[in-house]
Amino acid sequence: MDSKRGVLIVILVIVVAWTSPVSANGVEGPHLGFSLQGGGVIWTGGRPMENDLIYGGRLALMPWSNFGLEGTVEIHPTNDFDGQALRMNHLSANLIYDFLPFNRFNPYLTAGLTREHVVRSTGGWESWNGWEAGLGLKIALLQAEGRRVDLRLDVRRTVVEWKNAGPGDDNFPTNWILTAGLELAVGGNARDGDEDGVSDRQDKCPDTPRGASVDSYGCPTDSDNDGVFDGLDECPDTPVGSKVDSRGCPADSDHDGVNDGIDRCPDTAAGVSVDAYGCPLDSDHDGVADEIDRCPDTPEGEAVDEWGCEVDSDDDGVPDRIDRCPGTPPKVAVDERGCPVPQSAREIELLDIGLLRLDDVNFASGRAQISPESYPALREVGEILVKWPSLRIEIGGHTDSQGAAEFNQKLSEARARAVFDWLLEHFPQIRPDQYVIRGYGESQPIAGNDTAEGRRRNRRVEFKVLNKESLRREVPPQTGTPDGRP
- CATH code (residue 122): 2.40.160.20
pLDDT, greater one: 13 or 411: 411
DSSP state of 341: P
Strand order in the sheet with 435-441: 355-358, 460-465, 393-398, 435-441
Query: Which pLDDT value is given to residue 478?
Result: 53
Q: Comparing C-alpha atoms, which of 130, 42, 138 is closest to residue 99?
A: 138
- 122: containing domain: 2-190
Mean pLDDT on 4-24? 49
pLDDT, greater one: 231 or 36: 36
Q: What is the CATH number of the domain that holds 429?
A: 3.30.1330.60
What are the two backbone dihedrals, phi and then psi, of residue 217, each rounded to the nearest 5 degrees? -95, 5
Among 46-60, 184-198, 310-324, 404-418, name the most confident range: 404-418
236 in a domain, yes or no? Answer: no
Among 61-65, 277-281, 316-320, 471-475, name the most confident range: 61-65
| Distance, first Cα to last Cα, the chain | 148
**Residue 454: partners with Cβ closer than 8 Å, 6 or more residues away:** 400, 445, 447, 448
pLDDT, greater one: 286 or 159: 159
Query: Which pLDDT value is given to residue 341?
Result: 76
Q: What percent of the chain shows pLDDT beyond 90?
A: 36
pLDDT per residue over 135-155, tens digit each?
999 998 987 766 889 999 999
23 in a domain, yes or no? Answer: yes
Mean pLDDT on 439-467? 93
pLDDT, greater one: 365 or 311: 365
Residue 84: Cβ within 10 Å count: 11
pLDDT, greater one: 8 or 359: 359
Query: Is 237:226 a contact under the CB 8 Å cutoff?
Result: no
Could you tell me what percentage of the chain is helix, strand and coil, using 3-state DSSP and rounding each to the nearest 5? 15, 30, 50
429 in a domain, yes or no? Answer: yes
Q: Radius of gyration (Cα) for the chain, nearest Å?
A: 59
Q: pTM for the whole thing?
A: 0.43
Q: Is the pLDDT of residue 378 over 90?
A: yes
172 in a domain, yes or no? Answer: yes
How many residues are listed for the chain in this entry? 486
**Range with the lowest mean pLDDT among 291-300, 341-350, 441-450?**
291-300
151 in a domain, yes or no? Answer: yes
199 in a domain, yes or no? Answer: no
Q: Quote the strand ranges of 99-146, DSSP E.
A: 105-120, 125-144
Query: Is 28:190 a contact under the CB 8 Å cutoff?
Result: yes
pLDDT per residue over 232-263, tens digit each?
777 887 788 778 777 878 777 777 778 877 77
Q: For the residues of 66-108, what is the DSSP string, one character each?
A: SEEEEEEEEEEEEEBTT--EEEEEEEEEEEEEES-TTSSEEEE
Split at pLDDT 50, 70, 90, the class of 308 is: confident
Q: Comparing C-alpha atoms, which of 199, 177, 185 is closest to residue 110?
A: 177
Split at pLDDT 50, 70, 90, the class of 307 is: confident
Reduced to 3 states, what is the DSSP secondary structure of residue 434? helix
Query: Which pLDDT value is given to residue 23?
Result: 39
Torsion of CA 290, 296, 297, 299, to 10 degrees: -70
Number of domains in the chain: 2
Query: Which pLDDT value is given to residue 411?
Result: 94
Last residue of a domain, one of 190, 221, 236: 190
Last residue of a domain, one of 160, 190, 220: 190
219 in a domain, yes or no? Answer: no
Residue 420 C-beta-side C-alpha neighbours within 13 Å:
22
pLDDT, greater one: 225 or 449: 449
How far is residue 276 from each of residues 160, 235, 282, 297, measured CA to CA in Å? 87, 20, 12, 22
- Could you give the CA distance from residue 232 to residue 252 in angstroms, rounded to a whole number? 20
Split at pLDDT 50, 70, 90, the class of 289 is: confident
Query: Which pLDDT value is given to residue 367?
Result: 92
Query: Which pLDDT value is given to residue 82?
Result: 67
DSSP bridge partners of 79: 85
DSSP state of 140: E
Residue 480: Cβ within 10 Å count: 11
384 in a domain, yes or no? Answer: yes
Among 89-103, 318-332, 333-347, 410-424, name the most confident range: 410-424
pLDDT, greater one: 38 or 148: 38
Q: Is the pLDDT of residue 111 over 80?
A: yes
Query: Which pLDDT value is given to residue 21?
Result: 43
Q: Is the pLDDT of residue 451 over 60?
A: yes
Q: Is the pLDDT of residue 324 over 80?
A: no
Reduced to 3 states, what is the DSSP secondary structure of residue 408? helix
pLDDT mean across residues, the chain: 81
Mean pLDDT on 366-381? 93
Mean pLDDT on 88-100? 92
Split at pLDDT 50, 70, 90, the class of 195 is: low
**Residue 19: partners with Cβ closer than 8 Å, 6 or more residues away:** none
Q: Is the pLDDT of residue 428 over 60?
A: yes
Among 48-52, 168-172, 423-427, name the most confident range: 423-427
- Could you give the CA distance from residue 288 to residue 294 in angstroms, rounded to a whole number? 9
Q: Is the pLDDT of residue 480 over 50?
A: no
Kind and range of the H or E run holding 6:
helix 2-18
Last residue of a domain, one of 190, 216, 246: 190
Helices (H) and strands (E) counted in the chain, each on its own, are 6, 14
- Could you give the CA distance from residue 457 to residue 448 in angstroms, rounded to a whole number? 9
Q: What percent of the chain shows pLDDT beyond 70?
A: 84
Mean pLDDT on 71-98? 87
pLDDT, greater one: 316 or 456: 456
